[in-house]
Structure 1
Amino acid sequence: MKVELLGGPTGDLGSPRLWKTDHATYAAQGLKTDDPRQVAIPHTLLAYVEPGTCLSGLTDTGDGWFLLGGEPITDPEALARMNIPGHEIAVEVPIGREVTPNAPARP
């Protein structure tokens, strides 16, 4: 799997970070939780989601963080590029389409 860095609050120097994959999905890198299929990401990471898209399945923890569930990234090529520290993981999630209520339909 190939991954492209979209960004993160610390730039390209560290995590958390948001990536786009060649599977037409996002890979969200953040803190490990008790669930190996779930990552904790800060609200600020959403600034790197591409316009017109969204991350679905977020649960707000109420303290500036979201929990996000997905498929754990296990691909060696992707993990080498991401350089994830031991206290973190990355999960792959579908790219959702942003829907604005009462907005005109897009062509």
Structure 2
Amino acid sequence: MKLRFLGSNSTGGDCPTLYATDRDSYIVQGWQLFANELLMQLDIPEGESAVEVPTELFEHLSNDGLRPGDIKHAAVPVMIVTPQGTCVVQGKAVADPDALSQMSIPDYETCVEIPKPAIIALLEETRGADLQR
């Protein structure tokens, strides 16, 4: 899998980051959820994972030609939107060695793959919406 960097919310390159793939999907790199209240709200199937990222990370979708939109409510793949301005994104756990070799992932982070149509549907659905789970 080949990745194209879309943007990050840090200057160090090892914090929440958004990539486009050559598989019509996005990789969302973010903070791992450990045994906390956010994780307890999810039912994560085998082979999937979840990451927490600032909602502003999705502004970088404009670097892939999408209208960024505001993430203000939960709808697959965004499972939780917190009052602190973060969201929990659930998707396929990235295990592809080629993809992982293209990223700098510290121990406290992981990444998930989200199909591009799921992101597009979310952005279309959230236009004008202001709902939270």
Cα distance in 1, alignment partners of residues 68 and 113 from structure 2: 15
| Structure-1 residue corresponding to 2:99 | 78
Q: How far 1:57 moved relative to its partner? A: 2.1
How has the CA–CA distance of structure 1 residues 4 and 26 changed in structure 2, closer, same or farther, with 3 Å as cutoff? same
**Which structure shows the higher strand fraction?**
1
The answer to which of 53-62 and 79-88 deviates more is: 53-62
The answer to which of 82-91 and 27-36 deviates more is: 27-36
Q: How far 1:53 moved relative to its partner? A: 6.5
Cα distance in 2, alignment partners of residues 64 and 47 from structure 1: 13
| Structure-2 residue corresponding to 1:91 | 112
Q: Give the unaligned 5+ runs of structure 2.
A: 40-47, 128-133
How has the CA–CA distance of structure 1 residues 11 and 24 changed in structure 2, closer, same or farther, with 3 Å as cutoff? farther
What is the alpha-carbon root mean square deviation over aligned residues? 2.3
Q: How far 1:12 moved relative to its partner? A: 6.2
Q: Which amino acid in the other structure matches residue 31 of structure 1? A: W
Q: How far 1:52 moved relative to its partner? A: 3.6
SS of residue paired to 2:95: coil
The answer to which of 79-88 and 90-99 deviates more is: 90-99
SS of residue paired to 1:46: helix
**Which structure shows the higher helix fraction?**
2
Q: Give the unaligned 5+ runs of structure 1.
A: 102-107
Q: How far 1:7 moved relative to its partner? A: 0.6
How has the CA–CA distance of structure 1 residues 18 and 10 changed in structure 2, closer, same or farther, with 3 Å as cutoff? same
How has the CA–CA distance of structure 1 residues 77 and 29 changed in structure 2, closer, same or farther, with 3 Å as cutoff? same
SS of residue paired to 2:98: helix
Tell me the number of residue pairs that the alignment of Structure 1 and Structure 2 aligns: 101
Q: Percent identity?
A: 28
Q: How far 1:11 moved relative to its partner? A: 4.2
How has the CA–CA distance of structure 1 residues 30 and 14 changed in structure 2, closer, same or farther, with 3 Å as cutoff? same
Deviations 1:21-40 (A, max 9, x none): 11110100000013661000
Runs of 4+ in 1 over 6 A off after TM superposition: none
Cα distance in 2, alignment partners of residues 99 and 38 from structure 1: 22
TM-score, scaled to structure 2: 0.66
